[in-house]
Structure 1
Amino acid sequence: MSLLKKFVVLPVMAAVLTSPLTLAKDIDYPTKRLNYTIAFGPGGGNDLMSRTVVDILKKYKLYDRNIRVDNLAGGSGAVGFNHVAQQAGNPYHLTSTSGNFLGTPLVSNTGWTYQDFTPIGLLAQDAMFIVVRADSPYQSAKDFVEHAKQNRVTIGGTGAAGPERVVASLFAESAGFTYDYVPSQDGGGMVTSLTSKSVDAIVANPSEVSGQIKAGNFRPLAYSEAQRSTIYKHVPTFKEQGYDFAFSLPRGVVMPKDVDKDVQQWWVETLQRVVDTPEWKEYLETNSLSGNTVWGDDFAKNLAATNADFERVLTQIGAIK
């Protein structure tokens, strides 16, 4: 069935789409099961985004074959991303990007970089909270800094060189304190490290700690975007509190390299429909993510620029020797 015919028989999407799209030319795709690899364990921000995308694909029948979803955690994303990178030319593999998609190859010999993938789309921008337990004495980032200048503190995050590590180091550099960083394998382990008092604070994606914040167990002290979160409007940014930095990373979707251009365009158009659904808008709002999108070759340029910034910051903090 052609792509055009498929979308003609889905009138429900007419109410969802708000802008006209140029359909890819008629190609014999898809004909097989899609394999969607999540390079991290269940419960983290990458897992939540990936499963939201897959759920929307299924609900609106945007992919008319089966979809298999696998969590292949390990090596701060290296295992799962390597699995997809090894599928060069195979149009039936997708994965979701994260900070570790850029950071892990910069600090480890992974055998792949972001250039070994076909860019489909940047679906959201991602920033971080620094969070403490609700029973901690810290009511603000300033309180935490005052303590950290007099005492050695520990800050947790996911992975050794992800955005959590970058935000923690930018905070410490800007505020003038030192700290020990404690990486966890996934979001669940990171949350446990704070609840068990193994660390003094964690830097986390809002989606990873929103439940604990709503339950009154965690207290966010600062937000790493330049503007306040649209959901957690009461949480000031680092900049507002006198720490002159901001940091966020893209959340997007990529395929293995050497995928046919027509298939790449098919996925660009399909994911444009995904981000135009109410379910995706709800996901953005719930997880305090901006919905700025970038597609195809423009996404490749975005990844290159972000990677350059990431490399510079990781070099400054000593993560790259």
Structure 2
Amino acid sequence: MSYMRKFITGAMLAAGLTGVSAVTASAAECIAPADPGGGWDFTCRTVGRLLTELGLEESSVQVTNMPGGVGAVAFANVAGKRASEGDLLVATSTVGVTQIAQGKYPGGVDVMRWVGMLGTDVGVIVVPADSDYETVGDLLDALKADPTSVPVAGSSGAGGWDHIRLLMLADAAGMEGDDYKAIRWVQFDGGSPAVTQMLGGQVGAVSTDLGEIAGFVESGDIKILAALSDEPIPAFPDAPTAKSQGFDVTGYNWRGFYTGGDVSDEDYQAWVDELKSLFDTPEWKEAAEGNGLITVWRGGEEFEAYVADQAKQMEEISRSIGVIQ
């Protein structure tokens, strides 16, 4: 819990103020900047649940879904109205930082305080289980023959991280400039809605994070053509990597949180410490790996420096493939 909630709770206990008339500590809130079912929603709900179950939070963490602009709506809301609220976390990831790097949010990474990351998701290219494409090479061959032949969807807009990962594969397959830019890209607000539309025949493939759509893999509705990881994914060891198929492409998407830029040092550090405590538990490791995440911790100043550096890298990649000038 935040410094202020710890202080209030401690004062209440010391004074014996446990009745309903006592001043109570405020509950923590986590904003998931997307509809229910996506990776940001998973991050808020899983972390919030574990913080409560493990006693790191006094009461249930409220989860608020605030979709729009691939996180831009939530970013603007916090920056404009809630910048100093020490009880607030916002789920984010490489996807959000990519949007910031491309100027699609109302401000740069310095507008917020970056709390920590607890794991990284792995990008995947998936198709319906009954698709004629058996390998990622099959899909890329079809796109090389006619870039408009297979609509591909993801949870980011054109030039976002899901799209960039597809273009990196296209580039590795030998497509160039106007050809891979001609690929038909469809944006949905989350990997789960994208897969649902794919199963309905609206698109032919999806580029997203495994953590967002693991349930569809487990149910057998879809198959993974390529995992964009260095090694096979522990939760799905039979899923082939792009590297194993001759395409030297990886695409990780870390999962973490920011809070408002005017949050006090005490509240900020309290969140860093609390998330690190969660990270060190077997419960988090089990929940993360069960959803295809690789557990990794960066927090506090280290994480802030990491985010700033990644924003620069995403800007360079975006320029190199012509997404921004």
Q: Do the aligned residues in 1 keep the contact of 2:119 with 2:256 (CA within 8 Å)? A: yes
The alignment partner of 1:313 has SS state of: helix
Cα RMSD (Å): 2.1
Match of 1:91 among 75, 86, 94: 86
Q: Larger deviation: 196-205 or 277-286?
A: 277-286
The answer as to 2:215 corresponding to 1:211 is: yes
Distance in 2 of aligned mates of 1:150 and 1:109: 32
Q: Do the aligned residues in 2 keep the contact of 1:84 with 1:94 (CA within 8 Å)? A: no
Distance in 2 of aligned mates of 1:35 and 1:49: 13
Match of 1:127 among 115, 122, 147: 122
Higher helix share: 2
The answer as to 2:319 corresponding to 1:315 is: yes
Deviation at 1:124, TM superposition (A): 0.7
Deviation at 1:150, TM superposition (A): 1.8
Q: Do the aligned residues in 1 keep the contact of 2:101 with 2:312 (CA within 8 Å)? A: no
Match of 1:113 in 2: 108
Match of 2:20 in 1: none
Q: Which amino acid aligns with 1:79?
A: V
- Segments ≥4 residues shifted beyond 3 Å: 106-109
Distance in 2 of aligned mates of 1:52 and 1:165: 26
Deviation at 1:153, TM superposition (A): 2.2
Q: Do the aligned residues in 2 keep the contact of 1:84 with 1:93 (CA within 8 Å)? A: no
Deviation at 1:65, TM superposition (A): 4.7
Distance in 1 of aligned mates of 2:253 and 2:311: 10
Normalised by the length of structure 2, the TM-score is: 0.85
Q: Do the aligned residues in 2 keep the contact of 1:41 with 1:72 (CA within 8 Å)? A: yes
Q: Do the aligned residues in 2 keep the contact of 1:103 with 1:311 (CA within 8 Å)? A: yes
The alignment partner of 1:291 has SS state of: strand
Match of 1:189 in 2: 193
Distance in 1 of aligned mates of 2:296 and 2:38: 21
Match of 2:278 in 1: 274
Show structure 2 runs of 5+ residues with no match: 14-23
Q: Which amino acid aligns with 1:71?
A: N
Deviation at 1:283, TM superposition (A): 1.8
Show structure 1 runs of 5+ residues with no match: 10-29
Q: Which amino acid aligns with 1:154?
A: P
Distance in 1 of aligned mates of 2:219 and 2:249: 29
Deviation at 1:58, TM superposition (A): 1.3
Normalised by the length of structure 1, the TM-score is: 0.86
Distance 1:196 1:258, change over 3 A: same
Deviation at 1:54, TM superposition (A): 0.5
The answer as to 2:104 corresponding to 1:101 is: no
Distance in 1 of aligned mates of 2:212 and 2:251: 17
Q: Larger deviation: 127-136 or 180-189?
A: 180-189
Q: Do the aligned residues in 2 keep the contact of 1:71 with 1:80 (CA within 8 Å)? A: no
Deviation at 1:200, TM superposition (A): 1.5
Distance in 2 of aligned mates of 1:115 and 1:250: 19
The alignment partner of 1:202 has SS state of: strand
The answer as to 2:64 corresponding to 1:70 is: yes
Deviation at 1:313, TM superposition (A): 1.7
Distance in 1 of aligned mates of 2:107 and 2:6: 34
Deviation at 1:248, TM superposition (A): 1.2
Report how many residues are paired.
Answer: 298
Distance in 1 of aligned mates of 2:318 and 2:122: 17
Deviation at 1:2, TM superposition (A): 5.6
Distance in 2 of aligned mates of 1:277 and 1:56: 10
Match of 2:73 among 69, 79, 102: 79
Match of 1:61 in 2: 55
Q: Which amino acid aligns with 2:151?
A: T
The answer as to 2:147 corresponding to 1:149 is: no
Q: Do the aligned residues in 1 keep the contact of 2:84 with 2:262 (CA within 8 Å)? A: yes
Q: Which amino acid aligns with 2:173?
A: A
Q: Which amino acid aligns with 1:180?
A: R
Distance 1:36 1:180, change over 3 A: same
Identity of aligned residues (%): 28
Distance in 2 of aligned mates of 1:180 and 1:311: 22
Distance in 1 of aligned mates of 2:188 and 2:230: 26
Distance 1:70 1:2, change over 3 A: closer
